[in-house]
A = this chain, B = another copy of it.
Amino acid sequence: MEKRMLFPQVGGFLHGGDYNPEQWLDRPDILEEDIRLMKKAGINSATLGVFSWSVYEPTEGDFHFEWLEEIMDKLYENGIYTILATPSGARPAWLDAAYPEAMRVSSRNVRDHHGGRHNHCMSSPKYREKVTIIDRKLAERFGKHPGLLMWHISNELGGECYCPICAKRFQDYLADKFDHDIQKLNHAWWTTFWSHRYNSFDQIEPPFDHGERSIMGLDLEWKRFTTWSMNDFMKTEIAVLKEVTPQIPVTTNFMELYYELDYRKMAGELDVISWDSYPGFHNDREALEETMLRTAFHHAVMRSMKREKPFMLMESTPSLVNWQPFNKLKRPGVHKLASLQAVASGSDTVQYFQWRKGRGSSEQFHGAVVGHDGTENTRVFREVSEVGTLLKKIAPVAGSLVKAEAALLFDWDNRWAVNDASALSNETKRYDNTCINIWQEFRKLGVEMDVVPSDADLSQYRVVVAPMLYMLQPETADNLKAFVQDGGQLLATYFTGYVDSDQLCYLGGFPGDGLTELFGIVSEEIDTLYPTDRNHIRFEDGTEWEVKDYAEVLQVKDAHVLASYMEDFYQGTAAVTCKEFPTDDKCGRAYYVAARSSADQMRSLFLKMLQDAGLSVKELPPSVDYSTRIGEDGIYDFYMNYGTSPVKVSGVAGTDLITGGSVQGELELETYGVAVIKH
């Protein structure tokens, strides 16, 4: 297996973070101290220029890059590489004053005033022009700098704009999509309902809060357009950089499962996936293990976008953030856990927002490696330094990859469609959490699972779970059929296959597009339970699951009934079914779970699927997380203890990269302990 190191010149993991020296240009003593402290903490990279536009170009056309050059030089001299951001994340005051079109218009059709950040009209020609100019200048000036590792496009791209320019582009986007035939759109959006037929594309407006809010097709296409428009903007930035510096990789920092942008549509434009991770550690809703495993899911989403190379943890906080409802301190050791979990999940970097706390403005209390005291004599600094040391110890892991034979289908289109559907209960739909909880349950079994779109190629997997797959893309049903016919183990649930990719309901019975044949059932009705309602389902072996929120009433056509409802008017009818597709040497199975039960109750069914698929599971103590990266020269098993007492893991063998010692049989993990076992 080939080694895919992201930055060969670094020779291991990146350890760094956002650095804002432009805030301290009048304090050369502090800039000097930064270098000393970075080296002490084992920092080898700095992300510069994320919000430097007003320093680069204090008035229109007047550029100042000399300060940056000095900083990059000094960093490089001290072994610290630079990730250089394009400064498009925040516009200077002069730009908005001169070109108000750059300011976004809200869904209330009111243009924003100047302020904030990340709030540009992505369609604005003037904004794009000014971004292109400064990007080109940066590329020309710093593209050959030996310290330059990578371009960081803008920052946490997001949001949407309802201005006339965007509205016009939306109309053009729709005309393209529907072949310039308004009747195609009318049919797809079912506009005869409520007399909503359009006569022409230029009658269509964005879904203003005080405008059209009743057409699901409009809502969905607006979201797709927003992704398209953001991607289009990002491509203009990338185009300039690639023209001048084709050798420098580009990324942009994603934000977890950010709802408004289908990141997978953007991933193709990027050389590397990177993201910013800010879990709410030690909250009052869940144990630390749950927080960590949700983050593991997020890592898996990112990792699965480019399975052929590592990703980057572009931002994380070394201590706390300042914008959560309760800004609690990360407990000692948790910083190490979170950093190593990213690595275990396939990241080749551990990076922070931010290196040093600013004195003022809205993130002055966001955690940083160096605080307002300015010293190394803090718990936070010591913990960051420890991570620096650890990353060096496990440097051989860099470039290795995570490999999965199971997959969970999780879709932005489906998220949007499920949430916008006028059905069920908006309080309990919980598509994301339903997916996450199932993924976590597989993870607790030691099974690595990719998280892929519903129209993904499934040929490399042996187990596939598709929770609440309400919307089917054109290829999805065929893919699922082929997967099962080829011996795959598939599980779908209630609320599957109700609508096509335009959100038109399938006729002839759900799940549509041929899936009633695949699963051998028809879903006649779906019952939405109140939060206090409960039902139960019982399996032949006496196992019972508790049901809440949703329960479909099935007509069984051609499937085995594995479990039935125990209560209510559908008592005794099928709740879990399986249809088998045996061939000579294997047997594909299509499971349908018609009601919502918790993922931990579903574990026995998952085990059956894994067993039938020939995938191995692992016996792990409750608080231990296990994952694996595979390199060209070895396999690296990560064991992390999220619990508050030491544990022992049996069946471990290999060399612990952290202690350097050999492990044979039993591995002992301290509270919040980590081991990286090479074998």
What is A's interface to B at a CB cutoff of 8 Å? 20, 22-23, 51-55, 58-59, 87, 89-94, 97, 106, 108-110, 112-117, 188-199, 203, 205, 207-208, 210-217, 282-284, 319-320, 322-323, 325-329, 331-332, 357-366, 371-374, 377-380, 421-428, 502-510, 522, 524-525, 527-533, 553, 555, 568-569
Find out whether the CB atom of B524 lies under 8 angstroms from the CB atom of A378.
Answer: yes
A544: min CB distance to chain B, Å:
23
Q: List 18 A-B contacts (CB under 8 A).
A: A54-B196, A108-B110, A112-B210, A113-B205, A114-B205, A115-B205, A117-B194, A193-B363, A194-B361, A194-B362, A216-B360, A217-B360, A325-B425, A327-B425, A328-B530, A372-B506, A372-B510, A373-B510
CB closest residue in chain B, given A109:
B113
Q: Which residues does chain B contribute within 8 Å of A195, judged by CB atoms? A: 51-55, 87, 89-92, 117
In the complex with contacts A195-B91, A527-B329, A114-B203 CB distance below 8 A? yes
User: What CA separation (Å) do A378 and B361 show in the bound complex?
Assistant: 58
Q: Which residues does chain B contribute within 8 Å of A52, judged by CB atoms? A: 195
> A505: which of B54, B357, B422, B502 is its contact (CB, 8 Å)?
B357
Find out whether the CB atom of B55 lies under 8 angstroms from the CB atom of A197.
Answer: yes
A27: min CB distance to chain B, Å:
9
In this complex, the member of A108, A113, A212, A506 whose beta carbon has the largest number of chain B beta carbons within 10 angstroms is A113
In the complex with contacts A505-B372, A530-B284, A54-B197 CB distance below 8 A? yes
Find out whether the CB atom of A115 lies under 8 angstroms from the CB atom of B211.
Answer: yes
Q: Which residues does chain B contribute within 8 Å of A372, judged by CB atoms? A: 505-510
Find out whether the CB atom of B22 lies under 8 angstroms from the CB atom of A192.
Answer: yes
Q: Which residues does chain B contribute within 8 Å of A199, judged by CB atoms? A: 58-59, 93-94
CB closest residue in chain B, given A531:
B284
Find out whether the CB atom of A210 lies under 8 angstroms from the CB atom of B92.
Answer: no
Copies per complex?
3
Q: Which residues does chain B contribute within 8 Å of A284, judged by CB atoms? A: 530-533
Please give 20 more A-B residue pairs, beta carbons under 8 A apart, in addition to A112-B211, A114-B203.
A23-B192, A51-B193, A54-B196, A55-B192, A58-B197, A113-B208, A113-B211, A116-B212, A117-B195, A117-B214, A190-B361, A194-B361, A214-B361, A326-B427, A327-B424, A331-B569, A364-B503, A372-B505, A373-B522, A379-B524
Find out whether the CB atom of A423 lies under 8 angstroms from the CB atom of B322.
Answer: yes
Find out whether the CB atom of A92 lies under 8 angstroms from the CB atom of B373.
Answer: no
Find out whether the CB atom of B197 lies under 8 angstroms from the CB atom of A93.
Answer: yes
User: What CA separation (Å) do A424 and B90 show in the bound complex?
Assistant: 26
A291: min CB distance to chain B, Å:
13
User: What CA separation (Å) do A457 and B588 show in the bound complex?
Assistant: 76
User: What CA separation (Å) do A198 and B215 show in the bound complex?
Assistant: 43
User: What CA separation (Å) do A212 and B116 show in the bound complex?
Assistant: 6
CB closest residue in chain B, given A362:
B214
In this complex, the member of A93, A322, A568 whose beta carbon has the largest number of chain B beta carbons within 10 angstroms is A93
Find out whether the CB atom of B422 lies under 8 angstroms from the CB atom of A530.
Answer: no
User: What CA separation (Å) do A296 and B115 show in the bound complex?
Assistant: 42
Q: Which residues does chain B contribute within 8 Å of A363, judged by CB atoms? A: 193, 422
In this complex, the member of A332, A421, A527 whose beta carbon has the largest number of chain B beta carbons within 10 angstroms is A527
In the complex with contacts A208-B113, A322-B423, A189-B373 CB distance below 8 A? no
In this complex, the member of A205, A329, A427, A568 whose beta carbon has the largest number of chain B beta carbons within 10 angstroms is A329
Q: Which residues does chain B contribute within 8 Å of A210, judged by CB atoms? A: 106, 110, 112-113
User: What CA separation (Å) do A377 and B188 show in the bound complex?
Assistant: 28
> A114: which of B211, B379, B507 is its contact (CB, 8 Å)?
B211
Q: Which residues does chain B contribute within 8 Å of A190, judged by CB atoms? A: 23, 358-361, 364
Find out whether the CB atom of A328 lies under 8 angstroms from the CB atom of B205.
Answer: no
User: What CA separation (Å) do A51 and B359 show in the bound complex?
Assistant: 48
Find out whether the CB atom of B203 lies under 8 angstroms from the CB atom of A505.
Answer: no
Q: Which residues does chain B contribute within 8 Å of A331, judged by CB atoms? A: 568-569
> A193: which of B192, B213, B362, B530 is its contact (CB, 8 Å)?
B362
User: What CA separation (Å) do A360 and B505 show in the bound complex?
Assistant: 6
A600: min CB distance to chain B, Å:
24
A510: min CB distance to chain B, Å:
7
Find out whether the CB atom of B507 lies under 8 angstroms from the CB atom of A379.
Answer: no
CB closest residue in chain B, given A526:
B329
In the complex with contacts A214-B116, A214-B362, A529-B91 CB distance below 8 A? no
Q: Which residues does chain B contribute within 8 Å of A530, judged by CB atoms? A: 282-284, 326, 328
Q: Which residues does chain B contribute within 8 Å of A528, judged by CB atoms? A: 320, 326-329
Q: Which residues does chain B contribute within 8 Å of A365, judged by CB atoms? A: 421-423
Find out whether the CB atom of B90 lies under 8 angstroms from the CB atom of A194.
Answer: yes
Q: Which residues does chain B contribute within 8 Å of A211, judged by CB atoms? A: 112-115
Find out whether the CB atom of B423 lies under 8 angstroms from the CB atom of A93.
Answer: no
User: What CA separation (Å) do A378 and B357 show in the bound complex?
Assistant: 65
Find out whether the CB atom of B362 lies under 8 angstroms from the CB atom of A215.
Answer: yes
